[in-house]
Amino acid sequence: MDRIVIQGGARLEGRIAISGAKNSALKLMAAALLTDEPLTLTNMPRLADSRFMGHLLARLGVRVEEGPGAQMQLHAAEIGDTFAPYDLVRKMRATFNVLGPLVAREGQARVSLPGGCAIGARPVDLHLRALEALGAEIELSEGYVDARAPKGGLVGAEIDLPFASVGATEHTMLTASLARGETVIENAAREPEIADLGACLTAMGAVVEGAGTSTIRIQGRERLKGITHRVVGDRIETTTYALAVAAAGGDAVLDGAVWAHNKALWAAMHEAGVTAEPADEGVRVARNGDRLDSVDIETQPFPGFPTDAQAQFMALMTLAAGTSVIRETIFENRFMHAPELARLGADITVHGNEAIVRGVARLKGAPVMATDLRASVSLVIAGLAAEGETVVNRVYHLDRGFERLEAKLSGCGARIERQSE
């Protein structure tokens, strides 16, 4: 199993290219099921998760081809199978998004209940309620969802989400694009990846209005067409490298980062004493050697502070002067990085959904273990700032969501390498 070895203490100087957003790419890939024409995605991140989604789609009959550069073409000329087995769905929750498109196009599907990072219960009740509102009949048995469209197909409906779930919003948008008539999603999630999906579905022929706001209107179409779509930049990768520069010290431009997608993060970083400002085609982040100030944060749906950046921000706060309170409101079990950060000398106490981080003057390298995607990269950030050697084990979590992490960081002066056993 690979591990990542970091010699801490090097400043990060230079430019880091931000890839396409994983969380957008996976849903855009599912959109390929909605048309018999080819969908071409550019700025695709090369990740274990996107490869995995590709395997599932290939099994359903989609021709998946990685093109030159960051391009991927997906062609679902015919759907060969509407069965998504446990082995291909359990590892990654985003695969569940094939359910609605399959039902919309083929009239029925059988899809395993999903898995994903072990950060909480993560049910799919909101997804299923939305599909039912569109007319699908749903049965659960033996860990599978069996869904069937009524005679005449799915029909648009008004759906009021009790919680602004990202996944349920996207799943509904995908499905409603092939349903008859208008669907209105109230209390929709507003993440930039949702606006990205809305733009893609609109280009394919559905009319999607309001994606990125709390009310989304979708006019479904009987047929959608193939198009080329560029995946939006990854705002979570952006936060990760921004926080790496802040923790290790340095001055770097994040190429392709979208300033407007991370305002809550920039505000928190300013409060901590870090420079973050829009730059040519990206964002510049800089920190001199001064001690950081402690900042309290609470994770919230977009435009609030992202839960996917909470672990990385905690890594930064371990080195601040004073005490920072970090409250997690989206997932119930998302502090697994705290005991691992403590192995590097961090002083963190977790009470329920709150972590109290008492800043220390320095961290010291140690062997640590990655537990989930974002938690593992918080350990890399801490390792970059720590004195001595940090070894991050179980890096397959990192490979799910970070493209060429070691190369991007070492390109800016970090002493980081991957070792295979």
Which sequence positions are flagged as catalytic?
A: 117
Q: Please state, in angstroms and rounded to a whole number, the distance separating the CA atoms of residues 84 and 80.
A: 12
Stretch that binds ligand UD1, among 57-65, 158-166, 175-183, 287-295 (CB under 6 A): 158-166
Given 29, 34, 104, 126, the residue binding ligand UD1 (CB under 6 A):
126
Interaction of residue 102 with ligand UD1, rule CB under 6 A:
no
User: Which residues have C-beta within 8 Å of that of residue 162, sequence separation ≥ 6?
Assistant: 126, 187
Are residues 300 and 323 in contact, defined by beta-carbon separation less than 8 angstroms? Answer: no
Between 19 and 165, CB nearer to ligand UD1: 165
Stretch that binds ligand UD1, among 4-12, 122-130, 379-387, 391-399 (CB under 6 A): 122-130
Interaction of residue 3 with ligand UD1, rule CB under 6 A:
no
Interaction of residue 160 with ligand UD1, rule CB under 6 A:
no
Among residue numbers 267 through 326, which ones bind ligand UD1 (CB under 6 A)? 307-308
How many residues touch ligand UD1 under the rule CB under 6 A: the total is 22
Interaction of residue 94 with ligand UD1, rule CB under 6 A:
yes
User: Which residues have C-beta within 8 Å of that of residue 1, sequence separation ≥ 6?
Assistant: 393, 394, 395, 396, 421
Instruction: Verify cis geometry, omega within 30 degrees of 0, for the bond prior to 303.
Output: yes
Between 313 and 331, CB nearer to ligand UD1: 331
Cα 157 to Cα 129, 212, 370, distances in angstroms: 11, 19, 42
Of 86, 74, 3, 69, whose CA–CA distance to 38 is shortest? 74
Given 30, 124, 204, 247, the residue binding ligand UD1 (CB under 6 A):
124
Are residues 310 and 374 in contact, defined by beta-carbon separation less than 8 angstroms? Answer: yes
Task: With H, G, I as helix, E, B as strand and everything else as coil, classify residue 77.
Answer: coil
Given 17, 41, 168, 409, the residue binding ligand UD1 (CB under 6 A):
168
Given 9, 120, 367, 413, the residue binding ligand UD1 (CB under 6 A):
120
* Tokens (6 digits) for 206: 């559905």
How many CB atoms lie under 10 A from the CB of residue 361? 8
Q: What is the SS3 string spanning 325-355?
A: EEECCCCCCCCCHHHHHHHCCCEEEEECCEE
Q: Please state, in angstroms and rounded to a whole number, the distance separating the CA atoms of residues 303 and 285.
A: 20
Question: What would the x/- binding string for ligand UD1 be over residues 328 to 347, using CB under 6 A?
Answer: --xx----------------
* Tokens (6 digits) for 58: 């290939």
Stretch that binds ligand UD1, among 57-65, 159-167, 259-267, 274-282 (CB under 6 A): 159-167
Residue appearing with tokens 């004493």: 273
CB of 127 to ligand UD1, least distance (A): 5
Are residues 74 and 41 in contact, defined by beta-carbon separation less than 8 angstroms? Answer: yes
Question: What would the x/- binding string for ligand UD1 be over residues 24 to 63, using CB under 6 A?
Answer: --x-------------------------------------
Between 153 and 210, CB nearer to ligand UD1: 210
* Tokens (6 digits) for 241: 């490298």
Interaction of residue 121 with ligand UD1, rule CB under 6 A:
yes
Given 54, 135, 167, 256, the residue binding ligand UD1 (CB under 6 A):
167
Task: Provide the binding-site residues for ligand UD1, judged by CB under 6 A.
Answer: 23, 26, 93-94, 120-127, 163, 165-168, 189, 307-308, 330-331
